[in-house]
Chain A
Amino acid sequence: MGYKNEKLKEEKVFKDPVHRYIHVRDKVIWDIIGTREFQRLRRIKQLGTTYLVFHGAEHSRFQHSLGVYEIVRRIIDDGFSGRPEWDEEERLVTLCAALLHDLGHGPFSHAFENVFDLDHEVFTQKILLGDTEVNTILRKVSEKFPQKVADVIGKTYPDKLVVSLISSQIDADRMDYLQRDAYYTGVSYGHFDMERILRVMRPAEDQAVVKSSGMHAVEDYIMSRYQMYWQVYFHPVSRSAEVILTKVLHRAKYLFEKGYHFKQDPVHFHTFFNREFLLEDYIALDEGIITTYFQMWTKETDWILRDLSKRFLNRQLFQYVEFNPAKEYKKLNELEQLFKDADLNPEYYLVVDSSSDLPYDFYRPGEENERLPIFLQMPNNELREISRSSDVVDAISGKRRTDHKLYFPADILLRDKEKNPLYKKIYDMLTN
């Protein structure tokens, strides 16, 4: 028996608030969890700035990664194993991909990626394939094993069924994050009958499908996802924090490029500002480091960096108004000019932020929706796309909802409106 099939002498379990227990028998999985790259995920929050709105949302990507692994393990070991459509040889690569699918996320992932033009999926691949502890473990299985795991996560693996368990419209990733994020935010949306879905999930040629008797559980899952996006993930106050976080990083980068003398040299950012960073620089970052710099930047002489850092740390967020780009883009140009005239840099203090979600969609011939549909397996084994059977899913299929908001520092405008009449004009224009 090689390392690939090596089992721990005794099963290890992690206590988990969502799945009760996460079970580990495979030595490879246990060893991966112990690597520094995987442990780093403990220091990266799953929901970024959402904790500033839902104070419970301090959970980490480490927890979510274990959760996705556990769901996939249950699908395979309790549902797929022994069925002719499932190749048992794919078990380990699928479990590893589930565990490692978010490995490349950086601190405050979306803001950080936006400012430094990075892609966490690229870093997941680099960590899997580079000179890392995770790569060493995976190579012990076989020389090609790291690439296989990377291919599953990158959706280029030949066995599409394996890919669909990690990435599709009903995958283990979504099933974990909806429930976990609902639990930690304390909201009542996000819950659905996962036990039922797992019981009725079946392996098919190119993807996992659901027995038709599980249709209502899937409807509930899709609606849960819809509600979580609009009630939690796109919460406008959380978006305000994200806007400010992004602008702090933009300002620090701008100042560095202009040769500004920081009171505390931002050494951890140097290679990112210069775009010369190595994988090791990326792995070394976590949210503790970022917020430590934010603390230091509250003492900087640059007013914008100081103000934005304080705002983020002390939750003095921007106010927002609804914004319709189609009708108001000329007003936006006017506002930008007024901000400049009032000595408020619009690049940092007048920000359009857009949120959009498509709760479910399916492939229509000739169209480029690119989404793998959810198929129901009918009693005669025919596969039927779910919206053909479900009125609930049909009602929301292909319906994208988009929302634009304009963020600005209402506190400054209101506080100093007597001193600066332009502030009053701007405030009135924004709020009327």
Chain B
Amino acid sequence: MLQEHAKIVQFISLAQEVTGRKKLQKMIFIAKKMNFPFAEKFQLHMYGPYSEELTLRVEELCEMGFLNEECMDKGSYVQYKYDVSPEGKRFLETTTQESNELQGFIEKMQVKTSRFLELVSTLLYFDDLEKDEQIEKVHIVKNKLKFTETEMNDAFDFIHQLQEVAAS
């Protein structure tokens, strides 16, 4: 019944913790693009693909006491860190969980920066286009971030790696 909630709790449980709302958004989007069955709908927003439904789901899970949210003051900005509470772990035990194949993907994404994941997810958002058009689109919608050619190449390599794992 609360299966979609459970998927998010499981994701964070597999990641152990996720630092940054933006990072969580991008990781779930990328996982969804790799055919993991997340139901949240994404649209292109200020920082690339973003799901209002996911924001809502995470807020609910915090209210429900299944996720802990820690607000960290970073001086000029604040950052949020999420992990699964003991109640969340008990909740997971009552639900059917997705396969643990997700863990490998999460590990690969966890070590990347939010900026890099923003680039990867934005490229994936335009994955129906040819590579040149994808790059052009990213430069249009992310013109202020000024992604370099090296970053673009790294992002495509990363997507390729993820796709290979997904296909295996």
Q: Which residues of A contact B (CB under 8 A)?
A: 119, 121, 154-156, 158, 325-326, 329-330, 332-333, 336, 346, 350, 352, 354, 356, 363-368, 370-372, 400, 402
Residue in A329, A356, A363 whose beta carbon sits within 8 Å of that of B91 in the complex:
A329
Query: Do A332 and B44 touch across chains, with their CB atoms under 8 A apart?
Result: no
Residue of B nearest to A355 (CB): B56
Q: How far is the CA of A336 from the CA of B50 in the complex (A)?
A: 33
Residue of A nearest to B21 (CB): A368
Residues of chain B within 8 A of A370, CB atoms compared:
45-47, 50
Q: How far is the CA of A365 from the CA of B45 in the complex (A)?
A: 15
Query: Do A156 and B2 touch across chains, with their CB atoms under 8 A apart?
Result: no
| A-B residue pairs, 3 tightest by C-beta | A366-B77, A326-B64, A370-B45
Q: A119-B41, A330-B94, A350-B1 are in contact. List 17 more A-B contacts (CB 8 A).
A: A158-B143, A326-B65, A329-B2, A329-B64, A329-B94, A332-B2, A333-B1, A336-B1, A346-B1, A364-B78, A365-B76, A366-B74, A368-B25, A368-B47, A368-B50, A400-B56, A402-B59
Is B79 close to A, CB under 8 A?
A: yes
Residue of B nearest to A117 (CB): B39
Query: Do B44 and A154 touch across chains, with their CB atoms under 8 A apart?
Result: yes
Residues of chain B within 8 A of A350, CB atoms compared:
1
Say how far B60's CB is from chain A's closest CB, in angstroms.
Answer: 6
Residue in B45, B60, B79 whose beta carbon sits within 8 Å of that of A354 in the complex:
B60
Main secondary structure of the interface of B (DSSP, over half): mixed
Query: Do A332 and B1 touch across chains, with their CB atoms under 8 A apart?
Result: yes
Is B137 close to A, CB under 8 A?
A: yes
Chain B contacts with A in 13-48, Cβ cutoff 8 A: 20-22, 25, 41, 43-47
Residues of chain A within 8 A of B77, CB atoms compared:
364-367
Main secondary structure of the interface of A (DSSP, over half): loop
Query: Do B78 and A363 touch across chains, with their CB atoms under 8 A apart?
Result: no
Q: List 7 A-B contacts (CB under 8 A).
A: A325-B64, A333-B1, A363-B46, A366-B79, A367-B21, A402-B56, A402-B59
Is B140 close to A, CB under 8 A?
A: yes
Query: Do A156 and B76 touch across chains, with their CB atoms under 8 A apart?
Result: no
Q: How far is the CA of A119 from the CA of B128 in the complex (A)?
A: 15
Known: A367-B21, A367-B78. A156 touches B140 (CB 8 A): yes
Q: How far is the CA of A366 from the CA of B60 in the complex (A)?
A: 21
Residues of chain A within 8 A of B56, CB atoms compared:
354, 356, 400, 402
Residues of chain B within 8 A of A366, CB atoms compared:
74, 76-79
Say how far B29's CB is from chain A's closest CB, in angstroms.
Answer: 12
Query: Do A156 and B94 touch across chains, with their CB atoms under 8 A apart?
Result: no
Say how far B114's CB is from chain A's closest CB, in angstroms.
Answer: 9
Is B145 close to A, CB under 8 A?
A: no
Q: How far is the CA of A350 from the CA of B76 in the complex (A)?
A: 47
Q: Which residues of B contact A (CB under 8 A)?
A: 1-2, 5, 20-22, 25, 41, 43-47, 50, 55-56, 59-60, 63-66, 74, 76-80, 91, 94, 137, 140-141, 143
Residues of chain A within 8 A of B43, CB atoms compared:
121, 155
Known: A325-B64, A363-B46, A368-B22. A156 touches B41 (CB 8 A): no
Say how far A160's CB is from chain B's closest CB, in angstroms.
Answer: 10
Residues of chain A within 8 A of B44, CB atoms compared:
154-156
Residues of chain A within 8 A of B59, CB atoms compared:
400, 402
Residue of B nearest to A328 (CB): B64
Residues of chain B within 8 A of A372, CB atoms compared:
46
Residues of chain B within 8 A of A354, CB atoms compared:
56, 60
Q: How far is the CA of A332 from the CA of B64 in the complex (A)?
A: 14
Q: How far is the CA of A402 from the CA of B53 in the complex (A)?
A: 12
Residue of B nearest to A357 (CB): B56
Q: How far is the CA of A211 from the CA of B56 in the complex (A)?
A: 32
Q: How far is the CA of A325 from the CA of B4 in the complex (A)?
A: 13
Q: How far is the CA of A119 from the CA of B41 in the complex (A)?
A: 8
Q: How far is the CA of A332 from the CA of B91 in the complex (A)?
A: 12
Residue of B nearest to A346 (CB): B1
Say how far B14's CB is from chain A's closest CB, in angstroms.
Answer: 21
Residues of chain A within 8 A of B65, CB atoms compared:
326
Query: Do A158 and B140 touch across chains, with their CB atoms under 8 A apart?
Result: yes
Say how far B58's CB is from chain A's closest CB, in angstroms.
Answer: 10
Residues of chain B within 8 A of A329, CB atoms compared:
1-2, 64, 91, 94
Query: Do B79 and A402 touch across chains, with their CB atoms under 8 A apart?
Result: no
Residues of chain B within 8 A of A155, CB atoms compared:
43-45, 141
Residue of B nearest to A158 (CB): B140
Query: Do A352 and B63 touch across chains, with their CB atoms under 8 A apart?
Result: no
Residues of chain B within 8 A of A367, CB atoms compared:
21, 77-78, 80
Say how far A402's CB is from chain B's closest CB, in angstroms.
Answer: 6
Q: How far is the CA of A69 from the CA of B5 in the complex (A)?
A: 38
Residues of chain A within 8 A of B143, CB atoms compared:
158
Q: How far is the CA of A3 from the CA of B156 in the complex (A)?
A: 41
Q: How far is the CA of A370 from the CA of B26 in the complex (A)?
A: 13
Query: Do A325 and B50 touch across chains, with their CB atoms under 8 A apart?
Result: no
Q: How far is the CA of A155 from the CA of B126 in the complex (A)?
A: 12
Residues of chain B within 8 A of A121, CB atoms compared:
43
Query: Do B60 and A402 touch across chains, with their CB atoms under 8 A apart?
Result: yes
Say how far B163's CB is from chain A's closest CB, in angstroms.
Answer: 21
Q: How far is the CA of A402 from the CA of B64 in the complex (A)?
A: 12
